[in-house]
Amino acid sequence: MPIPRRIIQTHRSAEIGRELRESWTRHHPDYEYLFFDHEQRRDFVATHRPGLLPIYDKLPGIVQQVDLFRYLAVHEIGGIYADADTICCAPLHSYLDLEQDHLIAGMEMTLETWRHGAETYMNTYATPFQICNWIFAAPKGHTALALMMQRIAYYAAQMSPEQLAAWSRADRFTLELTGPMVWTRILTEFLSGTRPAGLNQVTVLPRLVWGSLPEDQRVPANQDTVKVRHLFEGFWKTRSRARTYEVRL
């Protein structure tokens, strides 16, 4: 099943990041473009997977709800999800195979690439590599997305709302509950052959294509390789963790 030429983005308001979103529509005039604000996001969950709505509402963090929404949206209708604080630098179809039945993701970080020590790496990333979840593409019904939703629902069901709220104060908890750490674990099951043959495939792009950091984006030699720039304007972590993040800017 091919990947639909459909771009999905979300933010609390359509007025936020309008210029950034125009980079996506400008490069893809023939694609369907869908934007969801907070209310529309919840309505989508209620319409397409009402059984998942109690879990969605139970998640205390907006970023956790957005994570669950992105997996559900692409699973239900297929297409390309990208965070609203991204700039599209080239048409997706100019470098991606959208006709193949596979999920496309981008490498975000590896131990070899990280230059700031093991302690700061472990605060932020999965080992030995992390795959970014702020942009990915897949056909409708991809198995990895179904597994992500099942995993999140199972984890969240084990905890009371009070426990979820308390543990969500730790940034790493969100990374492991809904974010790129659990995403990386699920996709690694496909990459490693742990999942039975015949399930939907997963393709991971080299890090600079989608997973470049601002410091990478400033290097002239990288300009042709970087296809999507992430500005990290929606950075959600606590200030103590954000200081760790700033090491790499």
Q: Using CA atoms, how far apart are residues 76 and 90, in angstroms rounded to an integer?
A: 26
Q: Where are the domains of the chain?
A: 6-246
Positive or negative, the CA dihedral 76, 174, 84, 2 is negative
pTM, full prediction: 0.92
CATH class held by domain 6-246: alpha beta
Report yes or no: 103 and 3 within 8 Å, Cβ to Cβ. Answer: no
Provide the residue-wise pLDDT of the chain in tens; the chain has 249 residues. 899 999 999 999 888 889 999 999 999 999 999 999 999 999 999 999 999 999 999 999 999 999 999 999 999 999 999 999 999 999 999 999 999 999 999 999 998 888 888 888 888 899 899 999 999 999 999 999 999 999 999 999 999 999 999 999 999 999 999 999 999 999 999 999 888 766 679 999 999 999 998 889 999 999 999 999 999 876 555 544 443 333 322
3-state SS class at 172: helix
3-state SS class at 160: coil
Conformational region of residue 141, where left means phi above 0, alpha means psi within -120 to 50, and beta covers everything else:
left
Report yes or no: 149 and 65 within 8 Å, Cβ to Cβ. Answer: no
Q: What is the DSSP string of 90-130?
A: S-GGGTS-TTSSEEEEEEEEETTT--S-HHHHHHH--SSEE
